Each structure stands twice: as structure tokens, then as C-alpha cells.
Structure 1
Amino acid sequence: MTGKAVNKAVLKRLLGYALHDKKKLAIAVGLLLVASLADVSGPWMIQHFIDNYIAKDEYPLDMVAGLALAYIALMGIAAWFKYVQALRFNEIAIGVVQTVRKQLFGKVLNQPLSAFDYMPTGKLISRITNDTEAIKDFYVFVIGTVLKNVIFISVMLVVMSMLSWRLTMVVLVLLPAVVAVMVLYQRKSADAYRKMRDLLADINASMSESIQGMSLIQLMRQEQAFSKQFSSLTRRHLESQIGVMKLNGLMLRPLIDFLSGVALLSLVALFGISGAELVGVGVLYAFISYLGRVTEPLIELTQQLSLLQQALVASERIFGFIDAKQQRYGDDALPMAAGRLECRDVAFSYDGKQQVLKGINVELPHRGFLALVGHTGSGKSTLASLMMGFYPITSGELKLDGRPLDSLEHSVLREGIAMVQQDPHVLNDTVRENVCLGRDVSDTLIWQALEKVGLSEQIRAYQQGLDTRLGSGEANLSAGQKQLLAMARVLVVQPKILILDEATANIDSGTEHHIQQALNALRQDMSIVVIAHRLSTIMEADEILVLSHGAVTERGNHQQLLAQEGHYWQMYQLQQAGEHLHQIEEQGVAELSA
């Protein structure tokens, strides 16, 4: 984040969006020019009437009526053109915001997962919504106001110089002083507005995380602690806003009003010294009128600096994310023909300091069945994420279908290897859309996939069938059913490698058996990698890797690992004992019921 009062590179880039449609911008500026000419002509006509008719005590009816009608017409023209140009600038602003939002969201979708490891959801949403709204305000109010007032003041100064260059010089002295105030205000307000925007993002992040984790907060009775944290953020945000308001109250209108008052006194004093013979009464009236009209645009320009500062801070954050490193894929567009997977001395670190995986060697043949087991934090899910291409490996080599993973095109990678996660996300949409996820999949294939995972009976029970909306009150799936739905998503496209990351953790034994049968059938044309705590689900695996602290400590099939009587054997014995105790409990409950 830059510490400069005005980041010229950011401002230039921000203005560049409006220049994409030069024709629309030129029309808006032309409308502004016409409106300014019409607006400035009013005092000039009154000056002409005072000096040429009132001063001579002449009131020709046709001339007076003509001037009155012309004055009314000019004011009407000015009002109409101001209205039309405001619509034009709003149209430009909305178009820019749409472009920036689409660019930002497109970049978000293509960010590597590592970008989200330390990015709270609330802050990201704040960038897409609040920060882009600040850009809209920049175009609607700042750009529109600056162009309107600069053109208006320029036209006014030209007319004033035509009336009296002496009085014009007095007014011109006001402009450098105002510019100095604006520059000083900009420098003073830069850090204050940046802090205010950052605190607003923190507030959004706090609300988002609190709502998402509401069950945990209430279970742990942390309502008061989170309320205090939120109150602290809002208090600091309020304090920063008050600081900005104090700065605005001191440096905006009071200073500008003082400077304009000095200019007005100077005009009156000059008129008193020179007399009406050098400067007519009408000219003095016109200058006083113009001075009043100059003051408001100057105050308006200075007041827009706050919006300018907010827009620059918001743009720094948005452009920083847009320019961030994107997920990179290779150029190999040849579809995967087989589900072969190889890891050679693979190592990985999230932060570049602490090794999460080290020296991983795996060789999974086509139609193979690989299982990964180990304690929490052993690196199982991280290894699966590397196989999916979510993160680039730190060192070593990872191949799919005999080709380096980083050489494969995005579509090839995503069609060739798929994952069913432990806590799958369910869209607030129909069953059909939740399964196909925008892909061109027929209802027949969807029903076949639901049938394979044992979810078709449940969906047929819904009155709307595949058109039933999930997560919106019409139907809610259990944790196990969500995992079955996620598995159906994968099965409709038949990948070459399927990774199950604790995908059977929330499924009962009957459904698990049904899925095991489906997976055995699917192995006819795909390889399977299973991460599991329940060892009963991987007894048929061709090879089981036991991970501990990021390294493979044991490997072999189920019988071989039991014969080694190592960590895997201990895990198996504990689970067998647990299942035995569970059976005894169920038997006791049944006897009591009888």
C-alpha cells in the first residue's frame, strides 16, 4: 500500500477506464460546455441591461421583454443540459463499475488457493462491493464535478476578462490559494481515509466470520467476546470518521468562504477607488455574481477530495488483487487417456518456511486404488490438493498420465481428475444445477449418477424432482447426503482419477457399502485415491500410505501393514476395539428394550 497522498499511477489507471469509450465521454463533456456557456450568459445579460439601459434610464419594452425571455431560455437550457450530462456520467460510471467488478471477480476465480489461505471472506466481499462502489462515486461525483466546475470556471473567467481585466486579476488571486488548500487537505486526509477503508473491511470480515461460525460461537458461549471485538472495530471506525469530519470541517468550507470573502472585499475596494467611470455598476454586479458562482464550485471541488481519496484507496486494493499472481496452467491440451499418477520426491510448504510434505514417492497405476491415512495434520489433504493442482509443488515431480501436472491445460486437468471433499458446498439452486454445475449434462446421466451413489430415491421423493431447490427451505440435505450429492457431481463426467477426501465420514455403514460397490464398478476405467480415518473403507486398496508429519512412514496393502505391527496396526486395533464396544452398547440397549 502506497503512502503517497495521490498515487498517480492508480489515478491514471482509474481514469483509463472512462477513456475506453471516448465518444461517450466526449458527448458528456460537450454537454457540460453548452450548459456552462448558458449558465454564464445570465449575469452577462443582466450586466448588459444595467449598464446600457438602467444606467441611462431607458426601458424599451421590446428590449426588456427580449432580454427576459432570453434569460429564462438560457437558464432552461443550462438546467436541461446539466440533467442530460449527469445521466451520461452516471451511465459511464455504472459501465466502469461493471467492468471493474467483472475483472475483479474473474481474477478471484482464477487465483491460486494459496491466495485465500489468509484472506478473510468478509474482506474479499468488501473489495468486490464497497470498494467498487467507491469507484462509482469517483466517476459520478468526482469526475463529473471536476469537469463541470473546471469548464464552468474557465468559461466564467473568459467572460470576466472580457468585462474587466482588473477585476479578473483580483478573482484570479483566489485560485492559487484554493489550490494550496486542496493540496494540503489531500496530504492530511490520505492516511485517514486509508485507515477508515481498512477498518470497514475488518468490520465486514468480522460480521461474515461471526455469522458463518454462529454455531461455534454459541456452543462455546463466546457471544460477549465477539460482541466486544465487533464493538471495538466499530468504535475505531467511528473515531477515524470523526477525525476525517474534523479535518473536513476545518479545511473545506471555512477556509474557502474566508478566501472568497477577501476577494469580495477586494472587488468592492477596487470599485470604490477606480469609480464607476472605469468599472460600471453592471460590471461590478456581474463580478459579484460570478464570484458567488465561483465560490460554490471551488467548495464543491474541495469537498470531492474526500471521495477522490476513498476511490484511490479502494482502487489500490482492487488493482492489487487484479494484478496478483494468477493460477498458471500448461499448454498441453491432450485429454488424459489413463489415470496414472506419479510422485517423485515431492516436497511442499505453504509459507516457504515450514515443510508440510517432504520426500513423497507414489506410483498409482491406471485403475489403481491408493489410500492415505495418518493423524490430523500429517499432510494427507495437502497431498491430495497437490494432486489436484491446487498448489504448485515446492520441489520434486508430480505426473498425471505420464505428463508433468504443470504442463496440462486447465480443462484437461479439471476433466481428468476430480475430488469429493469432506464438507462439500451445496448451491442455493436446484438439484439439477447442483449436480451439473453449469456443464452440459443430460437428465439421464444425472439420474444415473444419483442412482450409483444411492441418492436417487431421496430425490424422486421430492415433488419437483430434479427441479427441487436445495438450501432455500424446499429441501435440506443431511451431511451424508451432501457428500453423496458431491460424489454424483463427479460421476457424471467420469474422470480418470477420483480423490475422496474423507468423503464417507458422514455416511452410515449401509450407504458406505453401496458406495463401495459403485467405486469398485467405477475402477474399471478410473483410478481412486481415498483419504480415510475409517480403515474399513480402504481394506481393498492396492497400496496404503501412512503419513506422519509430512513423510511416509509405512506403506503396503492392508495385510502387509498389519503384519508390520506399526502405526497402522495400532490404528486398526483401536478402531476394532471401538466398533466392538459400540456393538456391545447396541446389544445392551436392545436387551433393555426387550
Structure 2
Amino acid sequence: MSQSSTLNIKDEQVTLAADAIGTQGTPPYSWQRIFDLVLQHKGLLIKAHIIAILATLATVPLPLLLPLLVDEVLLNDPGWIVAGLQAIAPETWYGAIYYIVAITVITILLRAIGVGLGVWQMQQFTVIAKDVTYRIRRDLLARVQGVSMAQYETLGTGSVNATLVNDVNTIDTFIGTTVGKLIVAVLSLVGMTLILLWLHWQLAVFILLMNPIVVYFTMRMGRHVKSLKKKENSALDAFQQSLSETLEALQQVRAANRDRAFFDRVRGKAKNVKQHSEAFTWKSDAASRLSFLIFLVGFDIFRGVSMLMVVFSDLSIGQMMAVFGYLWFMMGPVQELLAIQYSYNAADGGLSRINSVLNLQQEGQYQPKVQAFNQPDKTKVEVRDLVFHYPGKQHQVLDGLSFTLNPGEKLALVGASGGGKTTLVSMLLGFYQPDSGQILYNGHDIRDIGYEPLREQVSTVLQTPMLFNQSVRFNLTLGRELDDQACWEALRMAQLDETIRELPEQLDTELGRNGIKLSGGQRQRLAIARMILQDPKVVIMDEATSALDMATERELYQDLAPFFAKRTTLIVAHRLSSIKQADRILVFEDGKIIETGDHESLLQQQGTYHKLYR
């Protein structure tokens, strides 16, 4: 890309796909895609299905054994069960006590085996589900990590948190628990159907014809439950967003004596959650109970028909009791089939919200084409004809802005609030794309440099730095491996070392939410120490010392003078004491540079600067 060319970004859209990395986006998650992820665990799937078959073989005969003893022992009509027991025991054991005790022991053993196999089978599906949900969360985190700043400004953190936790958990539950139980339920129903057909095919056909009625009503109610679940999730989103905002700003809210109003707002969101959760909970419970009622009505009808079959057909009393046992035993698998409808609807709603996060607009990641910062010389920054407006707004925040920040220079940018200074700082870091114009470092466009190398060498200290509820060391290094000596040296340069040495655990002291254990000025100096450790080529001080008194600020800049002498520095400030640290001052108004010079010359011009600082 030519250094002299002025690039119109709107005309470059066709080439962005070729230059950007990772902007294609993560494909949306469909049930087919999740199924494909599950199939990647073929070994575990085969194992789980084999275990499910064994569990079915162990549990399906249970309702049959003891009832048939009624015919074979109590009604003195020996059959295959008695014959089988006689084949494995001496003749002296023959009798009702042996038969009943033996079948009872066998039944207990089969139940225990069935439970053990069920746990083993569930373990296989849990491993599969956790892997799938880990991949989903990994993709979601990648999208949030790369979200464009324009999208980030409208992004509710509570909504994203709910998706990463609650919605992904619904997928986890559906795959790990519901589907695992479904396989056993289906196999059990198949096994029970075969046994019922063997016992009395006419009665079995009648039972099978009634089952679709239960399925039909369940699906109808399930669709209504899905709609209720979406409303509940939306209410939870709003509550989490409001709560997180209030907690993050609790000190300022309380200082403004507005904590009652803010928490009333949170309580209002909580009331919405209560209302929607009430509707979802009792209506879904009612739907489940109605489905179960249909099953019980069918159960009573089946029992009546079974007794009639004893009277009018060859169905024995023992076989009738076996049918009763299977009807009751069938309740578990049928309930699992009913539950999958609700679990699927909840998971499907979560899936749509997961895809909404995956659809977040991404920041363009450009392949580095040049190495702009590999020279030992100081860095030159150029802004050429920069034009920018926020999406959905007509007003141009930056209107043909041009200036040069010479290597090693300290340049101050001043102007009234709302003039576009903070927007410019964001654009110098590549957070926003200009409508037209260029930003160059050592003559190279930031898109040719790439954002990672750019942000490694351009460090910003903000008026309100973000501090984490972790140790002083972590807040200094942001997880980089740096020795304590480097940390203490940076703190010394930022005039904060004595303060940190007085803390109970020094570098290992936890700072609390947003660094609440430090004063405003101490938080700013900690952010300056963090910047020093980054060792950048370009430093941007955006109201970075506004919380310091003028004497402390003057001493700080004196201590930082050797550090700044080796770097190119942009100071964005309103305070005169900060501005006087600069070699040159630019006066910023309505997205343009209207005055330039040093402090004395600008005062003599009797212009905007004179009005601001006379």
C-alpha cells in the first residue's frame, strides 16, 4: 500500500476479505453440526450403545419373572422358569420357597447390574457432552475476544455471561443426560414391546396404538413451553445485565446517593424474572402432569382391558400381573421420552442465543506485512485526512484530521469534551475503521502492520484504568512472566513502590473489584507502571494523571522524563499542568486541528486555547 495514497475504506470492502484473518466467522451451530461433533467420539458412542444394550437385557426381564411365578408356583402350573431353576439345583431344593427366593435374588442382582451399567453408560455420554460444550464455549470466547469495539459498545455483558453459562449448560444437559437416557429408554421400550407381543399380541397392539396420543399431546405442550423458556431467558439476561452494571459501579452509585434507585431497577428486573419464571415453571409442570395424567389414564384402561382378556382369552393371571408390571415399568422410559421434548426445546432456545453471540461483528485481523517497530529509532506517527463517524449517526466525529507526531516528541492534544479526542485514541489503536484517511507508524498503514504488533508497541493509559480483582503483580503484568525486580522498578518510576510495600502482602495483595483498595491516583499510577513494563515505542496518556494533585503530577513527570525521552508520546489532557509537559500542543475542535504551538504562543494567538487556559 502506498504511503502517499489516501485510502477510502468504503471502497475497499471487496479487498478486506483477502487481507483480513479470521473475519469469516465461526459457522453457526446447528443440531447437525453438534451431531457431527458427537460422531467424532465414535469409540465412546459404540461403547455407550453396547452398555445400553446390556443394561436393557438386564432390566427388561424384571417385571416378567416374579409375576410368572404366580402361575408356575402359586397356581401350580410349572413352566419354563421352574424348569430352569430345577436344572441348576438338586432335587431336594425343589419347592415354592426355593423358587421364590431364587427369582427374588436374581431380580435384585439384575436391578443392581442395570443401575451399574446405567451409570457407566451415562459416564460415556458425559465425556462426550463436556467435550462438545467445551468446543462451543471455546468458539464463543473466540468471538467475544475478537468482537469489534463498535459492537462491544452495544453488547450486554450479562447477556453474554448467560449464554456462556446457562445456554451452553442446556446443551450439556441435553447431550449428556437426556440423550444418554433416551437410548436406554428406547431400547427398553423395544424390549418391553417384544415381551408384550410374546405374552399377548392383541393386548400389545392395543397398548402400542395408544402411545402416539401421549406423544402428540406432549409435543403440542412442548412447543408452548419453548416459548415460555425464551421469555424467561430474556428476563434473566436483563436482570444479569442490570445487576452486573450496578455492582461494577456500586461505589460511584452509592457516592451519588442513588443506590436505592439503582437497586430498585435491579429489583424490577428480578420481578420480571419472577413473573416469567413463574409462568414457565408452573405451566411446564402442568404440561408434564397432564402428559403423566394421560399416561395414567391409559394405564388404567390397559389394566381393565387386561383383566377382560383373562376372562375372555387365554391370558393367565400371572401373565396379567406381568402386563401390569410392564405397564408400570414402562412409565420410566415414557417419562424419559416426555422429558426429551422439554430438554430439546430448552436446548434449542439456547442454541439460537449461542448463534446470536457467534454472529457478533468481528474486528478485522490483518496479516502483518511489514515490521514497523523493529528499528531502534523512535517512532513517527502520522494521521492523514482522517474522517470518521459512528454507525447510525450523521455527525462526523473526525473531519479530515491531519497531524504528525515526530519521533521522540511529546505532543499534547487539548480541546473541549466531545470533540473527538477519545475517538482518535481508539483509532490510533485500530479499534475503529476510518471512513477515509490513514494512520501510519513509521510510514506504514496500521492495516499493514497488523493489530497485534501495533498494540504491543502502542500503550495507552486511561483516566479510569481497568484493574482486576487479583494481585498487584497480576494487575502489573496482566499475566506476563516478569520478575519482581522489574515490577518494583516500574512501581518506583510511577511513584507507587512505597505504597505497595506497605500493603500486607505487597505484590501478592489482592486489590478488590476495580482496584477498590487503592485511591484514584494510586490506580492511575499502577496503570502507568503497567505501561512501563510493556516497554512500548509509543505512549498515549489519556487524562492519565487527572486524579493526582499538581505537585505529585509534576514529580511523576520528572521521574518519567528519562522513560519518555526514548519514546514518542501523545498526551490527551484538560489540566494545564499535564499540557505543559508537552513539546508541542494541538488544539482540537469538531474533529479538526484549529491551532498548534507551545503554551506561550497559543496564549498569544488569543484563540480557543486562550479561552480554555487564560
Q: Indicate the TM-score class for this superposition, using the shorter chain for normalisation.
A: 0.7 to 0.9
> Counterpart in 2 of 1:86?
122
- The alpha carbon displacement at 1:497 in A equals 0.7
Give the secondary structure class of the aligned counterpart of 2:30: helix
Distance 1:432 1:324, change over 3 A: same
Is 1:43 aligned to residue 63 of structure 2? yes
Matched, 1:325 2:336: no
Identity across matched positions, percent:
28
Select 1:295's aligned residue among 307, 318, 331. 331
2:90 match: none
> Does residue 503 of structure 1 match 2:544?
yes
State the shift of 1:304 in Å: 4.4
**Structure 2 residue aligned with 1:372:** 413
Note if contact 2:554-2:577 (Cα within 8 Å) is conserved in structure 1.
Answer: no
1:293-344 Cα deviation digits (max 9, x unpaired): 2234323432443333332222322232134233322211635134221222
CA distance in 2, matches of 1:240, 1:19: 37
- Specify the SS of the correspondent of 1:252: helix
Q: For residue 376 of structure 1, report the CA deviation from its aligned partner.
A: 1.3
Q: Secondary structure, in 3 states, of the residue corresponding to 1:419?
A: strand
SS in 1 for 2:211: helix
User: Is the contact between residue 32 and residue 82 of structure 1 (CA under 8 Å) also seen in structure 2?
Assistant: yes
1:490 shift after superposition? 1.4
- Choose the corresponding residue for 1:27, options 34, 43, 47: 47
Counterpart contact for 2:246–2:262, Cα < 8 Å: yes
Moved more, 275-284 or 341-350: 275-284
Q: Distance in 2 between matches of 1:273 and 1:41?
A: 22
TM-score (norm 1): 0.87
Who is 1:399 aligned against? 440
Structure 1 pair 369–38 and aligned structure 2 pair: CA distance change class (3 A): same
1:360 counterpart = 2:386: no
Shift of 1:205: 1.5
Kindly indicate whether residue 168 of structure 2 is the aligned counterpart of residue 104 of structure 1.
Answer: no
For residues 436-493 of structure 1, the C-alpha deviation after alignment (integer angstroms, 9 at most, x for no partner) is: 2222323332233222222223334446443344338999322112111111111123
Q: Secondary structure at the match of 2:417?
A: coil
Task: Give matches, 1:56-67, under 5 Å.
Answer: 56-58=76-78, 60-61=94-95, 63-67=99-103
Aligned residue number for residue 588 of structure 1: none
Distance 1:96 1:339, change over 3 A: same
1:214 aligns with 2:253: no
- In structure 2, the residue matched to 1:577 is none
Aligned pairs (5 A) from 1:401-440: 401-440=442-481
**1:158 matches 2:194:** yes
> For 1:219 and 1:508, how far apart are their aligned partners in 2?
21
AA at the equivalent of 1:69: V
C-alpha change, 1:524 and 1:191, in structure 2 (3 Å) is same
Which blocks of at least 5 consecutive residues in structure 1 are unaligned?
1-7, 574-594
The farther-off stretch of 61-70 and 72-81 is 61-70
Mapped contact 1:170–1:267 kept (Cα < 8 A) = no
Give the distance between the partners of 1:162 and 1:371, measured in 2 at CA.
92
How far did 1:496 drift? 1.1
Native 8 Å contact 1:127 1:317 kept in 2? yes
**Who is 1:349 aligned against?**
389
Q: Which residue of structure 2 lines up, in the alignment, with residue 113 of structure 1?
A: 149
1 CA distance for matches of 2:514 and 2:302?
A: 72
The one-letter code sitting in structure 1 at the alignment partner of 2:603 is L
In structure 1, C-alpha distance between the alignment counterparts of 2:162 and 2:52, rounded to whole Å: 34
Distance 1:540 1:467, change over 3 A: closer
Matches within 5 A, 1:239-278: 239-262=275-298, 264-266=300-302, 268-269=304-305, 272=308, 275=311, 277-278=313-314
Residue 334 (structure 1) aligns with: 371
- In structure 2, the partner of 1:283 is 319
Structure 2: distance between partners of 1:115 and 1:84: 45
SS at match of 2:365: coil
| CA apart distance, 1:287 | 2.3
Say which is worse superposed, 209-218 or 195-204, in terms of deviation.
209-218
Query: Among residues 314, 322, 326, which one is paired with 2:350 in the alignment?
Result: 314
2:573 matches 1:532: yes
The answer on whether the counterparts of 2:197 and 2:204 sit within 8 Å (CA) in structure 1 is yes
Tell me the amino acid that sits aligned with residue 435 of structure 1: L
User: Does 2:520 correspond to 1:479?
Assistant: yes
Task: Quote the offset at 1:532 in angstroms.
Answer: 0.4
Instruction: Measure, in 2, the Cα distance between the counterparts of 1:203 and 1:297.
Output: 37
Measured in 2, the distance between the counterparts of 1:236 and 1:509 equals: 49
Distance 1:458 1:64 in 2: 82
Q: Is the 8 A contact 1:10 1:312 kept in 2?
A: no
1:454-493 alignment runs, 5 A limit: 454-462=495-503, 464-471=505-512, 476-493=517-534
Cα offsets for 1:29-49 (capped at 9, x unmatched): 332222222111112333543
* Alpha carbons 1:357, 1:551 under 8 Å: kept: yes
Whole-angstrom distance in 2 between the partners of 1:495 and 1:100: 35
Deviates more, 1:498-507 or 1:260-269: 260-269
TM superposition shift of 1:173: 1.2
Cα displacement string for residues 221-266 of structure 1 (whole angstroms, at most 9, x for unaligned residues) = 4444334433332333222223223433443222443345236425
- Which piece of structure 1 moves more, 195-204 or 148-157? 148-157
Amino acid corresponding to residue 366 of structure 1 in structure 2? P
Q: Aligned-pair distance for 1:64?
A: 4.8
Separation in structure 2 between the aligned mates of residue 20 and residue 392 of structure 1, nearest angstrom? 40
What is the match of residue 544 of structure 1?
585
Check whether the contact 1:540–1:558 (CA below 8 A) recurs between aligned residues.
no
Gaps of 5+ in 2: 1-27, 83-93
1:183 correspondence with 2:224: no
In the TM superposition, residue 94 of structure 1 has moved relative to its aligned partner by 4.0
Q: Which gives a bigger RCO, structure 1 or 2 (Cα 8 Å, sep 6+)?
A: 2
Q: What is the SS of the residue equivalent to 1:345?
A: strand
**Is 2:379–2:408's contact at 8 Å kept on the other side of the alignment?**
yes
Aligned-CA RMSD value? 2.9
Q: Tell me the distance in 2 between the aligned counterparts of 1:305 and 1:465.
A: 55
Aligned length: 566
- 2:563 corresponds to: 522
- Measured in 2, the distance between the counterparts of 1:91 and 1:459 equals 45
Provide the secondary structure at the position in 2 that maps to 1:172: helix
Does residue 459 of structure 2 align to residue 448 of structure 1? no
Give 1:36's aligned amino acid.
T
How far residue 91 of structure 1 moved from its aligned partner, in angstroms, is: 4.1
SS in 2 for 1:407: helix
Which segment is superposed worse, 473-482 or 534-543?
473-482
Q: Cα–Cα, structure 1 residues 456 and 542, in superposed 2: closer, same or farther, change >3 Å?
A: same
- Deviation per CA, 1:144-201, whole angstroms, max 9, x where unpaired? 3323322222222233233333222112112221221222122212221101001011
Aligned partners of 1:540 and 1:212: how far apart in 2?
34
Q: 1:275 to 1:9 in 2, by over 3 A?
A: farther
Moved over 6 A (4+): 472-475
Relative to 1, partners in 2 of residues 1:191 and 1:533: Cα closer, same or farther, differing over 3 Å? same
The 1:342/1:429 distance shift into structure 2, 3 A limit, reads: same
Does the 8 A contact of 2:467 with 2:513 survive in 1? no
